[in-house]
Amino acid sequence: MGASCSAGIRKAIMGGGSHKVCVCGGAGGIGQPLCLLMAMDPNVRELSIVDLNVAMVPPDGVAKDLGHIESKVKVTGYVMEVGTAPKDSLEDCLSGCSLVLVPAGMPRKPGMTRDDLFKVNCDIAKGMVEACAKFCPQAVVALIVNPVNSIVPAMAELYSKAGLDPWKIVGVTSLDSVRANKFVADLTGCHPSNIEVPVIGGHAGVTILPVFSQDPTSACLAPSKIEELDKRTQDAGTEVVHAKNGKGSATLSMAYAGARLGRAVLAGMSGRPTVECAYVKSDVTDLPYFASQVLFGKGGVSRVLPIGQLNDYEKRRLNEATVQLKTEINTGLRYAKDAK
């Protein structure tokens, strides 16, 4: 019995699918646990881990470490010299990729807004996106690097300018749904897997809009509790930044959420269309970019689903989110317009 039980557990972490995935920034706080989770995804065949020569841990070391788990996934590390353009050095790393997850960037420090991070992180994302355009233009490029609200429009417009599909650029907002689900579960005693709160809008402050009315368990909560949960979901990132006392932001929960998005993308590509919230080019509201439920299919994003019914509180919140999101989208659009 002991033998079969252990074999069952091991089977669950085998990997052995048909897709190649790259994690850029894979030696970082989010990157390392994200690499572990992707090496366990049943749809993954090969994992490339790229990071800078100045990373805390060499990417080869992360790859060697992961190469010892009982997974069929082939793991390779790639080092990039600071100052090298990824499009000049990452051909092997990116060629054949179906999915590129990008947590590369600077994390938010206490007192820092996501906007403070914009220029430095947008330049990092641009380098990577240019390399994806060159070596794996069919891949979904999932941007975790903040501020997502501005960086995604900037990168999607650069893809459009290059004649590529802007839907290949996807902003990872899954952590907001993960948190909303968990907070409702903690409050109600339900298992988190039975709760699915769509979180729409964007991925910073008031732009994060959990639609509790669309989840049957959450919909039963008193309006005052909903308002508290709404605020807590918006501020959850700051809770972690403070608890880590200046030594990083959400990494483990973010890796979990990034892997959830990755799993949805790869399941869709493998013939099992899957819905997950994500921030993409959109026409479901008046804004050109918006987070909502997205259907992932064979080629990545296949449809952006409508936002559905909102109650009066959520409609008010949507107006508030729209004002801030518009400014943050414009920051990204300006970057793309000025980019060389």
> Cα–Cα distance between 60 and 161 in angstroms, integer?
35
- How far the first Cα of the chain sits from its last, in Å, is 63
Q: Rule CB under 6 A: is residue 51 a binding residue for ligand NAI?
A: yes
Give min distance, CB of 86 to ligand NAI, in A. 7
Q: Rule CB under 6 A: is residue 33 a binding residue for ligand NAI?
A: no
Among the candidate windows 9-17, 105-113, 226-234, 304-312, which touches ligand NAI by CB under 6 A?
A: 105-113
Per-residue interface string for the shown chain with ligand NAI, residues 125-154, x marking contact by CB under 6 A = --x----------------xxx-x------
Q: Rule CB under 6 A: is residue 22 a binding residue for ligand NAI?
A: no
Give min distance, CB of 48 to ligand NAI, in A. 12
Q: Rule CB under 6 A: is residue 158 a binding residue for ligand NAI?
A: no
Other CB atoms within 10 A of residue 4 CB = 7
Q: Rule CB under 6 A: is residue 80 a binding residue for ligand NAI?
A: yes
Q: Which is nearer to ligand NAI, 124 or 226 (CB)?
A: 124
Q: Rule CB under 6 A: is residue 69 a binding residue for ligand NAI?
A: no
3-class SS letters over the chain: CHHHHHHHHHHCCCCCCCEEEEEECCCCCCHHHHHHHHHCCCCEEEEEEEEECCCCCCHHHHHHHHCCCCCCCEEEEEEECCCCCHHHHCHHHHCCEEEEEECCCCCCCCCCCCHHHHHHHHHHHHHHHHHHHHHCCCCEEEECCCCHHHHHHHHHHHHHHCCCCHHHEEECCHHHHHHHHHHHHHHHCCCHHHCCCCEEECCCHHHEEECHHHCHHHHCCCHHHHHHHHHHHHHHHHHHHHHCCCCCCCCHHHHHHHHHHHHHHHHHHCCCCEEEEEEEECCCCCCCEEEEEEEEECCEEEEECCCCCCCHHHHHHHHHHHHHHHHHHHHHHHHHHHCC
Beta-carbon contacts of residue 111 (< 8 Å; ≥ 6 apart): none
Among the candidate windows 2-10, 97-105, 261-269, 271-279, which touches ligand NAI by CB under 6 A?
A: 97-105
Q: Rule CB under 6 A: is residue 30 a binding residue for ligand NAI?
A: yes
Give min distance, CB of 72 to ligand NAI, in A. 26
**Which of 142, 260, 243, 244 has its CA nearest to residue 192?**
260
Give min distance, CB of 150 to ligand NAI, in A. 12
Per-residue interface string for the shown chain with ligand NAI, residues 231-270, x marking contact by CB under 6 A = -----------------xxxx--x----------------
Residues between 283 and 322 with contacts to ligand NAI, criterion CB under 6 A: none
Please pick, from the candidates 66, 97, 99, 104, the single residue that binds ligand NAI as defined by CB under 6 A. 104
Q: Which is nearer to ligand NAI, 221 or 279 (CB)?
A: 279
Q: Rule CB under 6 A: is residue 62 a binding residue for ligand NAI?
A: no
Residue nearest to ligand NAI (CB): 28
Q: Rule CB under 6 A: is residue 24 a binding residue for ligand NAI?
A: yes
Please pick, from the candidates 17, 29, 205, 288, the single residue that binds ligand NAI as defined by CB under 6 A. 29
Q: Rule CB under 6 A: is residue 63 a binding residue for ligand NAI?
A: no
- Residue 203 bears catalytic tag: yes
Between the alpha carbon of residue 126 and those of residues 44, 77, 153, 262, the distances in Å are 25, 21, 12, 20
Q: Which is nearer to ligand NAI, 44 or 50 (CB)?
A: 50
Which residues sit at the interface with ligand NAI, rule CB under 6 A?
24-25, 27-31, 50-52, 55, 80, 103-108, 121, 124, 127, 144-146, 148, 172, 175, 203, 248-251, 254
Q: Which residues are catalytic?
A: 203
